Amino acid sequence: MNLTARILTGMVSGLLLGLLIQQIGFTDEDWLGWFFVNGVMDAGGQIFIRSLTLMVVPLVFVSLVCGAASLGNTGSMGRLGGKAMGMYLLTTALAVTIALVVALVVSPGEGGVAAEAATSYEVREAPSFKDTLINIVPTNPIAAMAQGKMLQIILFALLLGVAFSRAGEPGARLYSFFQDVNAVLMKLITMLIQLAPYGVFCLMTELFATVAFAEIYKLIAYFLTVVAALLIHVTVVYPLILTMVARVNVLTFFSKMREPMLVAFSTSSSGATLPVTLRTVEHRIGVSNEVASFAVPLGATINMDGTAIMQGVATVFIAQFYGIDLSVVDYLNVILIATLASVGTAAVPGVGLIMLTMVLGQVGLPVEGIMLIIGVDRLLDMMRTAVNVAGDGMVATTVARTEDKLDMDVFADPDAGRVIEAGTSTT
């Protein structure tokens, strides 16, 4: 069985086992609860997520230094960065717009909402533009790495890579050393991803043993509206861009993106999935290291189409629940703020919901509305994270194609970069 099939098997069997355990019932005291669900399964899931997360900082740093070093020679970095940023922001704004339109058509918050809002919830203040800008520049790159501050790491790696390309002999020596480290790190991620089927199994078992289906039934209209908008975005917007701008086969793209999308779905973290996405985009899809090493980490950090979709639908839902009419200007505001909020959303589980307070606050909606939807957010987080990651891959592929940095032979080869057996791959 190939890795994708094994991950899927782990996912489905975890889901079924979790449902069975939920049927049997357990408490925190009995062995099924404390030993199996909260013990073994929880530990297995966390170990898997941590084993991916441990790769993020070294992989992004080394890979991006290499990318910037080879781009530094050609001087095309500015154009490439501009394209990637522009596409990330544009697709996110489009995602919120789709979400708003779908939500306004479906009206999930009108009538028949059984949920109740709690009375208080803390508003999250939007950081100022000035602070955001200042914070991209690290005062101490080692501290930035230790704290996993992705934008600071990206900036430092870019500068260092450019310096490599301009430093003559010493730069060239270091560049070739970094390329070796990069190859070794890629091998390490190929090894660690072997854990995915087991990790995914543990995560699914724990989730479906504990997920509150009653909450979902109460909010079924909201839940399905978010799912519909996510589906429209992935099956209409991405294929259109891939066909018209990137001019590549959409099915091939998605069949190669399956692995990172499944890992994103199971972990609910585009940050933890980043090493898998980077490996897929470079070795399975054929995006050159210069583009992938920059576009993918940047995407994982600032590009959250799925999150923005949830925020758009949630805004309409909460407004309808409280009977508050929003004006066209409000909706335009939502598009702007949700796009910016998704830039500021950390790529870890559940943060999209916290950032929603920012959007609600901006258009004067009661922030307590969050409590209405919190019960179903766990499952929606999984789906939107898969969309976030698909968006990163789509933009990286499109930018690479327009820059003539997509290897079409790799793209067309179904076996390129495929993980074959423990620790080995075709590249």
Residue 230 Cβ vs ligand ASP, minimum distance, rounded to whole Å: 11
SS3 364: coil
Binding ligand ASP (rule: CB under 6 A), the pick from 239, 350, 361, 375 is 350
- The rounded distance, in Å, linking the Cα atoms of 403 and 401 is 5
Q: How far is the CB of 392 from ligand ASP (least distance, A)?
A: 9
Dihedral over Cα of 76, 81, 82, 86: its sign: positive
136 DSSP 8-state letter? T
Look at residue 277 and give its three-state secondary structure: helix
Q: Taken in order 23, 29, 34, 36, is the CA torsion positive or negative? A: negative
Contact stretch for ligand ASP (CB under 6 A) within 97-105, 195-203, 242-250, 266-274: 266-274
Distance (Å, whole) CA 61 – CA 160: 10
**Closest chain position to ligand ASP (CB):** 352
> Using the rule CB under 6 A, is 138 a contact of ligand ASP?
no
Site string for ligand ASP, 368-407 (x = CB under 6 A): -------------x--xx--x-------------------
In angstroms, rounded to a whole number, what is the distance separating the alpha carbons of residues 310 and 253?
Answer: 24
Structure tokens at 189: 């991620």
Write out the two tokens for 330. 């409000």
- The residue within the footprint of ligand ASP, chosen from 348, 359, 390, 396 (CB under 6 A), is 348
Using DSSP, state whether 25 is helix, strand or coil. Answer: coil
Q: State in angstroms the smallest separation of the CB of 352 from ligand ASP.
A: 2
Cβ atoms < 10 Å from Cβ of 30: 12
268 is a site residue for ligand ASP (CB under 6 A): yes
Where residue 269 falls (left for φ over 0; alpha for ψ -120 to 50; beta otherwise) is beta
- Of residues 299-318, those binding ligand ASP (CB under 6 A): 304, 307
- What string marks each residue from 146 to 185 as x (binds ligand ASP by CB under 6 A) or -? ----------------------------------------
Give the number of residues in contact with ligand ASP, rule: CB under 6 A: 17
For residue 345, state whether it binds ligand ASP (rule: CB under 6 A). yes
Determine phi and psi for 191, rounding to 5 degrees.
-70, -45
Query: Shortest approach of ligand ASP to residue 310 CB, angstroms?
Result: 7
Alpha-carbon gap, residue 342 to 220, rounded angstroms:
24
* Per-residue CA distances from 156 to 39, 159, 235 (Å): 40, 5, 36
Token couple for 76 = 């095309």
Q: Which is nearer to ligand ASP, 87 or 95 (CB)?
A: 95
Q: Whole-number minimum distance, CB 348 to ligand ASP, in Å?
A: 5
Q: C-beta of 273: minimal distance to ligand ASP in Å?
A: 8
Is 56:192 a contact under the CB 8 Å cutoff? no
Of 394 and 410, the one with the shorter C-beta distance to ligand ASP is: 394
Closer to ligand ASP by CB, 51 or 345: give it.
345
Instruction: Give the span between the Cα atoms of 76 and 297, in whole angstroms.
Output: 18
278 contacts ligand ASP (rule: CB under 6 A) = no
Residue 270 touches ligand ASP, criterion: CB under 6 A: yes
**Shortest Cβ 383–ligand ASP spacing (Å):** 10
Name the residue nearer to ligand ASP (CB basis): 351 or 395: 351
Q: Least CB distance from residue 359 to ligand ASP, whole Å?
A: 12
Question: Smallest distance from the beta carbon of 9 to ligand ASP, in angstroms?
Answer: 24
Q: Which of 269, 288, 301, 398 binds ligand ASP (CB under 6 A)?
A: 269
Instruction: Give the whole-angstrom CA distance, residue 264 versus residue 277.
Output: 9
Cβ atoms within 10 A of the Cβ of 188, count? 17
Residues that bind ligand ASP (CB under 6 A): 268-271, 304, 307, 345, 347-352, 381, 384-385, 388
